[in-house]
Structure 1
Amino acid sequence: PSVPEESRQEYQKGLLRKLNERAEVRLTSQGDKVSAEKARKINNSYKSEGQLPQDPDIQDLK
């Protein structure tokens, strides 16, 4: 391996370390806010046509 390649790899390791440190600080400072803000949306599918909404506008979409 050449000297420029080794220095590039060392620089990349330093950047990765700095990025990970910043991410750790950001995530630890948020605490439990993430789970409260990003509640997972649940998609429910209709099992039969009778369960579809009866709104006339929706009926026209068929």
Structure 2
Amino acid sequence: MAEKVTAAKKEAKYSKTELIANAALFEVTPEIVAAALLDKEEATKKETETAVKSFLTRKKGAK
């Protein structure tokens, strides 16, 4: 009996510089991506999308 092996597909991580340079993918300016990823050096595309959405919907004056 053969065993099915399922490998979890890992999402590629990109450097902050690469993500900032490709800010158009997230439909925002490079400055928005830079601010959203302030505390990260690398992230996946999905993580970046989440960070950008969170940054854009935060209350003003919040850190």
Say whether the fold is shared (TM-score over 0.5): no
| Bigger Cα Rg | 1
* TM-score using structure 1 length: 0.31
* TM-score using structure 2 length: 0.31
Flag the structure with higher strand content. 2
Flag the structure with higher helix content. 1
**Bigger relative contact order, structure 1 or 2 (CA pairs below 8 A, ≥6 apart):** 2
